Structure 1
Amino acid sequence: MILIQFTGLSGSGKTTLAENVRGLLIENGYKVEIVDGDVYRKTISKDLGFSKDDRCENVRRLFNLGRDFIETNTIVLMSVINPYENLRKELRNHEFVRTVFLDCSLSNLIERDSKGLYKKALLPDYDINKINNFTGISDVFETPLNADLVLKTDFETVPVSANKLYNFIIENLSGLA
């Protein structure tokens, strides 16, 4: 099986794309699970903050959960920002892991800002509503050096990106068999 580790800034489409690809895979008879960083921040990672160490621990916990699904012959779509190249590389040491970068310009993300997070991250430091340590604004996001697939989510429609990812997964499944 395969684990897709998404990487991309908040709002780049990780969850949307995972849900769409999950549907395509299920329609074609595959078992698939989404391991979503936003969801698991409320459960297995609720004790973690947003320091570099906590972010890395969060990704490792999600990966371990994903590995459990892999052992049950399930495709895993791990939807999490995963901002650090060393950590992505650590996960890629496992032959079943592929990295997919959802590349979307910061200006586009600020413009669409569906959750209002960028607006809060860009508030002045004295504002009590300001989000600190926000990836891409006040915290680092390292652009992947060796992504297996790059999807330009500010230029492609969701169906186009979903079909590219679906085909990528199918091609990689046959390579792992």
Structure 2
Amino acid sequence: MSKATNITWHAAAVTKSDRRVQNGHGSCVLWFTGLSGSGKSTIANAVSSELYRNGINEYVLDGDNIRHGLNRDLGFSDHDRTENIRRIGEVAKLFVDSGTVVTTAFISPFRSDRDQVRVLFEKYEFIEVYVKCPLDECERRDPKQLYVKARRGEIKDFTGIDSPYEEPEHPEITIRSDLLTVEEAVEHIFQYMQEKNII
């Protein structure tokens, strides 16, 4: 619920459809979700690079990067995680309206938060990509040594250790990052977008 009053939505002179026609492709958000270390950012950036090589307007919103700026006032409590995802959902919607394919790489552990973002978009604009990877494999990779610190109690409310991760029930795409290469994951995602006439 907005706290602001006396505001009116101003219709844009150039529409989302106009931008898509000019671009020659659709727009959507590829919402990558999964445990830390599952490969979300790696795959999201690989998809972004391939989109760029194919002349498709794209942008990556990465969890850590966003917390350096837009969401630097947020911690990792349940409330702050929910607000983090709400803000990203609104930013992603602006990118989709601009005619861009935006990839987001966030743990986004709560199903209700992801569902609240989904309702912001039209059909086929929100593509939930579940990067599924067993916890023990994520811990084995542990590129940022976060699991080690969480196991020692140095990090509180860490997803998968002392804070829950709620798996998507009906994701558009599931990527088994412990079984697929990054290239295979990118191919799978591209195939989906082509089938939906996004690219």
When the two structures are superposed, what TM-score results if normalisation uses the length of structure 2?
Answer: 0.82
1:41-70 C-alpha deviation (Å, 9 max, x unpaired): 010100001011100111111111111111
Q: Which runs of 5+ in 2 are unaligned?
A: 1-26
The separation in 2 between residues aligned to 1:156 and 1:53, in whole angstroms, is 34
Please state how far the C-alpha of 1:114 moved relative to its aligned partner.
1.2
Other-structure match for 2:151: 122
Match of 1:4 among 25, 30, 49: 30
Work out the CA distance in 1 between the residues paired with 2:150 and 2:115.
28
For 1:170 and 1:24, locate their aligned partners in 2 and report how far apart those are by CA, in whole Å: 13
1:14 to 4, 15, 40: 40
Q: 2:165 aligns with which of 125, 141, 149?
A: 141
Aligned residue for 1:38, secondary structure, equals helix
Q: Give the corresponding residue for 1:37.
A: 63
Contact preservation (8 Å) 1:24, 1:166: no
Equivalent residue for 1:165, pick from 164, 167, 189: 189
CA RMSD of aligned residues (A): 1.3
Show structure 1 runs of 5+ residues with no match.
Answer: none
Write the distance in 1 (CA, Å) between the matches of 2:62 and 2:90.
13
Letter in 2 for 1:117: L
Note the C-alpha offset of 1:6.
1.0
What corresponds to 2:3 in structure 1? Answer: none
Matched, 1:70 2:99: no
CA–CA separation in structure 1 for the residues paired with 2:117 and 2:195: 20
* 1:96-138 CA-partner distances (Å, limit 9, x unpaired): 1111100000010111111100111111x4xxxx111000111
Calculate the TM-score normalised by the size of structure 1: 0.92
| Counterpart amino acid of residue 34 in structure 2 | G
Report if aligned partners of 1:37, 1:62 keep a CA contact under 8 Å in 2.
no
Q: Percent identity?
A: 35
Tell me the CA shift for residue 171 of structure 1. 2.3
Indicate the structure (1 or 2) with the bigger Cα radius of gyration.
2
| Matches for 1:41-52 after TM superposition, within 5 Å | 41-52=67-78
Query: 1:121, 1:134 within 8 Å by CA — same for their partners in 2?
Result: yes
Which of 88, 103, 109 is the matching residue for 2:114? 88
